[in-house]
Amino acid sequence: MANNFVRQFERSITEFWDLKAMTDYVAKTTFTYSQVGEEVAKLHILFDELHVQKNDKIALVGRNTPQWAITFLSAVTYGAIVVPILQDFHPNDVQHIINHSESKLIFLSDNQWEDLDESKFHSVRGVFSISDFRCLYQGPGETIQMTMKQLANKFKERYPNGLQKEDVHYCDKDDHEVAVINYTSGTTGYSKGVMLTGDNLSSNMEYAATTNLVGKGYEILTFLPLAHAYGCAFDFLSQFVKGAHITFLNRIPSPKILLKAMEEVKPTVIFSVPLILEKIYKNNVLPKLNKTSMKLALSIPILSGKIHSEIKNALVKTFGGEFIELVIGGAALNKEVEEFLLKIGFPFSVGYGMTECGPLISLNRRGKYVPNSVGTVVDDMEIRIDSSDPENVPGEIQVKGRNVMKGYYKNEEATANSFTEDGWMRTGDVGIMDKNGYVFIKGRSKTMILGASGQNIYPEQIEAKLNNLPFVSECIVVQRSEKIVALVYPDFAAMDEMGIQRADLDAIMDEHRKKVNEQLAAYERLSAIIIHPTEFEKTPKKSIKRYLYEN
């Protein structure tokens, strides 16, 4: 039980008792580890009074706040199962997930409650505000409102001298039992409930501890959605059990807001998605590099090294100036951005994973970094390529090990389809693996396009080339009438700044098409670029919902 999932939280609260644990960036309120323990104790009393049973489901919807994290900790340390739901989901999807998961209690923000219809709940007994834990709704025959009025007295009765270290004792729950049901959104529509056990999550947390990505006293700014496995595992759970101080952004992480928060918090380690880094590169760095004087200076060897060093220092300062590493995950990093970061010696690494692995599968670590790769498999996991020649012929990436989920909740068919006959989980990604174990992803098997002569075309690779070109905000490559075409949403702000007219756009995009085609095999080449007038609809992870645009 040394690294039992629940025991780790019990231990961190008592070991780091007086240290700062959580801060709300907007409200400027801070909880020490002992105060987190006290809030958890109060919610445990509430669960006791409501006769919440082991493995009852508790839904959790809302932005990243200390209260979100405290609710999560309270549920798992009580023995319940947390159902984190992205606040960006449509109310109909939230309602569906609550019913499908058979959640008994819901914790959410007041404005989200306004969008839900309690008459459609199947098993919900009570709904609570995540901001101050008020009861917003009690089911028929429930007396939750009355129970809430007695909670303060119940706490004083149980802890007459206040909560002490020796009072912190949580449930006994086997690590092979489900701790979290994480509903994926995915780009293919219908979401599935991924059942993650305590061991799945502990394995990710233990690996983080071996990489210097977590530590006592670390300053962490969490802006990735905690309802996703990536943010939850590395911005929250791994940090909390090692005594870090976590600041919850509690705002939409636009680059402007995020960089201001970075400057104030000065995080020790940063976990991000590529989009944020790519925007900063495109808007802040690239315009300077494209100046004639800069291009000339960079062509002189004696100057280029100094300039790269200055750019690196400026970029590090942009992210707060005191971080030891920036970890990119959640999607593929643009190759041009990756090449530039490596050239200037920027401290970053790239991870690869999926919700079904809670989430980490491999990591391309700084110091051992191989360009274009997602690194080598993490501890307690194995990877294989389903190919006759894994080093040269792409095949599906398949994994097994401690991180792999228990299955999809109430979906035996989907669970069975996700595993091979010999027990390896199918990732749905296609790639190769070199002799040193470095994995290179070529694309998603679900998005792969079959060429006219049976060739495999990976649209993500073409999109990466297009996204580097001027006036392309975002794009998606699809097959239309057996031809490969790109839908492009233009960067209208950049066009306005450069005085480019809408009438000139078709000609510019056709030049882009020719330029990209020069870099592609004949069977991959674009027959057309079609202007898409609005941003593409995306999942909360900011992946384009491809299935909406494939016909």
525-540 pLDDT tens trace: 999 999 999 999 887 6
Q: What is the DSSP string of 24-71?
A: ETTT--EEEHHHHHHHHHHHHHHHHHTTPPTT-EEEEESSS-HHHHHH
Alpha-carbon gap, residue 19 to 439, rounded angstroms: 40
Highest mean pLDDT out of 104-118, 232-246, 467-481:
232-246
- How is 286-350 classified by DSSP, letter by letter? HHHHTSHHHHHHHTSHHHHHHHHHHHHHHHHHHTTS--SEEEE-SSPPPHHHHHHHHHHT--EEE
Report if residue 524 sits inside a domain: yes
pLDDT of residue 335: 86
SS3 549: coil
- Of 248, 266, 289, the domain-final residue: 248
Whether residue 14 is predicted with pLDDT greater than 50 in this model: the reply is yes
Q: Which of 248, 272, 292 is the last residue of a domain?
A: 248
Write down the mean pLDDT value for the chain. Answer: 91
pLDDT band (50, 70, 90) for residue 176: very high
CATH code where residue 90 lies: 3.40.50.980
Per the structure, the complete domain to which residue 176 belongs is given by 5-248
Lowest mean pLDDT among 56-60, 279-283, 310-314: 279-283
CA distances from 264 to 26, 215, 222, 239, 457 (A): 12, 20, 13, 19, 45
pLDDT at 187: 33
- Look at residue 76 and tell me if it is in a domain: yes
Average pLDDT over residues 451-460: 69
Token pair recorded at residue 370: 């191989």
Instruction: Inform me whether the pLDDT recorded for 464 exceeds 80.
Output: yes
Average pLDDT of the segment spanning 337-354: 93
Domain membership flag for residue 84: yes
**pLDDT value, residue 545:** 83
- CATH of residue 483's domain is 3.30.300.30
In three-state form (DSSP H/G/I as H, E/B as E, the rest C), the secondary structure along 252-264 is CCCHHHHHHHHHH
Contact 74, 40 (CB under 8 A): yes
pLDDT of residue 314: 87
Give CA torsion, residues 283, 375, 207, 422, to 10 deg.
130
Other C-beta atoms closer than 10 Å to the C-beta of 80 total 23
Which pLDDT score is estimated for 190? Answer: 56
Task: Measure CA 234 to chain center.
Answer: 9
- CA gap 386, 393 in Å, rounded: 9
Kindly indicate the confidence band of residue 445, based on its pLDDT and cuts at 50, 70 and 90: low
- Distance (Å, whole) CA 194 – CA 21: 28
| Rounded Cα gap, residues 275 and 435, in angstroms | 31
* pLDDT at residue 90 tops 90: no
Q: How many angstroms separate the CA atoms of 428 and 195, rounded?
A: 18
38 within a domain of the structure (yes/no): yes
pLDDT given at position 88: 78
H/E stretch holding 510: helix 505-517
DSSP characters over 417-480: HTB-TTSPEEEEEEEEE-TTS-EEEEEETTT-EE-TTS-EE-HHHHHHHHHTSTTEEEEEEEEE
Question: What is the enclosing helix (H) or strand (E) of 220?
Answer: strand 219-222
Residue type (1 letter), 143: T
b/e map 254-279, b = 16+ CB within 10 Å: eeeebbebbeebebbbbbbbbbbbbe
Listed range (47-51, 219-223, 450-454) with the worst mean pLDDT: 450-454
The verdict on residue 428 lying in a domain is no
Whole-model pTM: value is 0.84
Residue 66 resides in a domain: yes
In the prediction, which pLDDT does 452 show? 55
Domain count, the chain: 2
> Which pLDDT score, from 0 to 100, does residue 188 have?
33
Question: What would the DSSP string read from start to end of 392-421?
Answer: TS-EEEEEEETTS--EETT-HHHHHHTB-T
Please name the residue that has the structure tokens 């445990």: 44
- Residue 181 DSSP SS3: strand
Has residue 436 been placed in a domain? Answer: no
Q: Does any domain span residue 307? A: no
Paired with 426 in beta bridges are 398
Does residue 451 register a pLDDT over 70? no
Task: Give the model's pLDDT for residue 307.
Answer: 85
Q: Which of 226, 248, 270 is the last residue of a domain?
A: 248
